[in-house]
Chains A and B, each alone.
Chain A
Amino acid sequence: MMASANAVTIYLDGLSLLGPGMHDWASAAACLLGQAPYQPAPVTLAAPAILPATERRRVGAAVKLSMAVGLAAVEAAGSHAANLPNVFSSTGGDCDNCHNLLEVLASGERLISPTRFHNSVHNAPAGYWGIATGCTEASTSLAAYDATFAAGLLETVTQAHSAGKSCLLVAFDTAYPEPLFSFRPIPYSMGVGMVLSPQRSAASVAELRIGISQEPATVMADAQLEELRQRIPCARSLPLLQRLAGGQPGRVVLDYLDGCRLAIEVAA
């Protein structure tokens, strides 16, 4: 079966993954291929050393996570963060910070912290990324609920073609605490980074032909990985990551929106 007639070709130059029980791409790849036992456990996140000390104190899990996967993807591509237009895709951004603001606004005092307020914008991780890396290129932060990964991938691919240069995708999700957790039960934080180029180069590790399709999404055979795929928007990428880990050409369909999915032909 063919992908959409109108497919866009893009080259993957760098890839990173940080998720439950997946500390880096190499260990995650082994789990995705069934070569190592998969045991989900919360991600441990370090404060990003490249942020100035004044900013480092102010950042939460969303910035730590997005910066870690962004830097790892740029490093894997042998690229320079300052040169890459970027897309930050996340369903809820910094969910801890949002919860804290809502609690304060529901209290009698309503004395909200100015830092928490400016950290509440969805593009706060992208803003800190720019401050840390000195990148003055275009940066887009977006959301599409469970479709957020595919939406971010499409934005990055079309941006790379329009700009005629490599772009960085940082897809990440964090979890709300209660009471919003009950309404949006994301079990773990997770992030995926990709450097995507419109041209093949020595850095290219795979060619992706991406089109819109109505076919059902590819699922994960492993029950635990499939649960992640269904419960974390960013984990909707897992069938593609599994295909990339195997290093074999082939085709996956990623979940996107109702009546609209992404068919991706992976080649060397």
Chain B
Amino acid sequence: MQALRLSAYTLTSAVGAGLASHLDAMRRQRGGIVRKRWETVDFDVCVGEVDGVDDVALPPELAAYDCRNNRLAQLGLAQDGFIASVQQAVARYGAGRVGVFLGSSTSGILSSEVAYRQRDPATGALPADHHYRETHNAYSVADFVRHFFALSGPAVVVSTACSSSAKVFGSAQRMIAADLIDAAIVGGVDTLCLTTIYGFSSLQLVSSNPCRPFDGERDGISVGEGAAFALLERGDEAQDGDILLTGVGESSDAYHMSSPHPEGLGARAAMQQALQQAGLAAADIDYINLHGTATPSNDAAEGAAVLALFGDATPCSSTKGHTGHTLGAAGGIEALICALALQHGVMPGGVGTQTLDARLPCNYLLQTAERPLRHVLSNSFGFGGSNCSLVFSRVGA
């Protein structure tokens, strides 16, 4: 695979806005999940909520896009000089040669959830000022980002549940390889909404406590929200210290809509393909950022797949105890946690996990470890059996 350089990246989640707060959370094993009454949810729920989303004001010309998801997108874009980096790429390549590939599972559906509570009692109509196209509809966040940067190239939202914003790295890589674009804004944005909080609760997949990935007593996810953005360009002029996307692996379970294959066959195929694309052996991977949602069946399937492919020595952890499960944004957030891990030589110890599941004897890090890293792998698996693994590498490491 033609490697791509991450020429800029940023992420925002419950642990804070921007890279510095995430590096701090990784080093200090600081989590952002809190128990609260969220919106009109009629029970206490542990969520990874991002501070300050309600205070974000969109540019006046993009006012129709105003919703929680696009506010979080803008909050995320505003960190770490990311906007300036994109503008430089647009100046270099042209507005038509920079693509937008973002993942989201629920987009701005919260806007329609609220609008359905405000239907006209006589006609059933939604409020006339509801902006379905710019908020709820699945493409909304890529449309917003494309307008935010006044781009005129390809754009899409990939929506494959919890693998969405990992898979966009592959879509962008293929589009650059075909020479249809020169650079891509990739990542994902998903925000808290009633659909996911009540939906995962209906499947009895939400923990009543902050989630505990790979713990023997784990009992479900904590829903989170987040925004991750990276600027991808061709990697042929990469310098020492640059972070490269070197492998993308994708597969389907073809097994069940909401349960993974029990032996993690699809997960294993995705990891194998990512290694193959990167030209690496399992032993070359220094750290694995697990999908690690903390549901009993997900972690068991992923653990089995990791053990089968890597054995029990490769350091690994899930950062969902830090951020909560940010669903459609999780692949992007965790890809960029991997970039931070490579850049700073930090393997984050898990948050929330107390006693490892003895049935999953992976080298799961309960304490953060710091040492130089060369190649890391990030796993993302979603409903519908959608699997994606990414390999990132540090140049000159």
Contact = CB atoms under 8 A, between A and B. Distances in A.
B154 A139 contact: no
A155 B156 CA distance: 9
Contact of A101 (B156, B195, B269, B385): B195
Contact of B202 (A114, A137, A161): A114
A35 interface: no
Contacts of A6: 178-180
A50 B236 CA distance: 47
Contact of B384 (A85, A113, A130): A130
A260 B160 contact: no
A36 interface: no
Contacts of B382: 121, 123
Contact of B195 (A105, A180, A184): A105
A13 to B, nearest CB: 19
Interface string A112-155: 11100111111110111011011111111111110110010011
Contacts of B369: none
Given A138-B250, A143-B139, A145-B137, A151 B386 contact: no
Contacts of A93: 138, 159
A106 interface: yes
B194 interface: yes
A118 B257 contact: yes
A92 interface: yes
A183 B138 contact: no
Contact of B133 (A117, A145, A179, A211): A145
A151 to B, nearest CB: 4
B209 interface: no
Interface centre among A55, A93, A111, A162 (most CB of B within 10 A): A162
A131 B255 contact: yes
A147 B178 CA distance: 20
A7 B142 CA distance: 24
Contacts, number: 220
A259 interface: yes
A182 interface: yes
A159 interface: yes
A148 B143 CA distance: 12
Nearest to B383: A121
A212 B159 contact: no
B177 interface: yes
A158 interface: yes
A26 interface: no
Interface residues of A, number: 69
B117 interface: yes
B174 interface: yes
Interface centre among A85, A112, A148 (most CB of B within 10 A): A112
A93 B96 CA distance: 28
Contacts of A139: 160, 250, 252, 386
Interface residues of B, number: 66
Nearest to A182: B125
Interface string B347-360: 00000000000000
Contact of A114 (B119, B152, B203, B251): B203
B266 interface: yes
Nearest to B277: A162
Contact of B252 (A103, A130, A142, A144): A130
A128 B257 contact: yes
B158 A141 contact: yes
B262 to A, nearest CB: 15
A119 B199 CA distance: 11
Contacts of A98: 109
A157 B154 CA distance: 14
A2 to B, nearest CB: 15
A159 B119 CA distance: 43
A113 B202 contact: yes
Contacts of A112: 198-199, 202
B139 A136 contact: no
B139 to A, nearest CB: 4
Contacts of A131: 254-257, 385
Interface string B331-365: 00000000000000000000000000000000000
A217 interface: no
A120 to B, nearest CB: 7
17 contacts: A112-B202, A114-B203, A117-B203, A122-B161, A124-B384, A131-B255, A131-B257, A136-B265, A136-B269, A138-B250, A138-B252, A140-B171, A143-B138, A147-B139, A157-B178, A178-B124, A260-B154
Given A141-B160, A151-B154, A184-B133, 10 more contacts: A55-B257, A102-B112, A121-B161, A122-B159, A122-B160, A135-B254, A139-B160, A142-B159, A158-B174, A158-B177
Interface of A: 4, 6, 8, 55, 85, 91-93, 98, 101-103, 105-106, 110-114, 117-124, 126-128, 130-131, 133-145, 147-148, 151, 154-155, 157-159, 161-162, 178-180, 182-184, 211-212, 214, 256-260
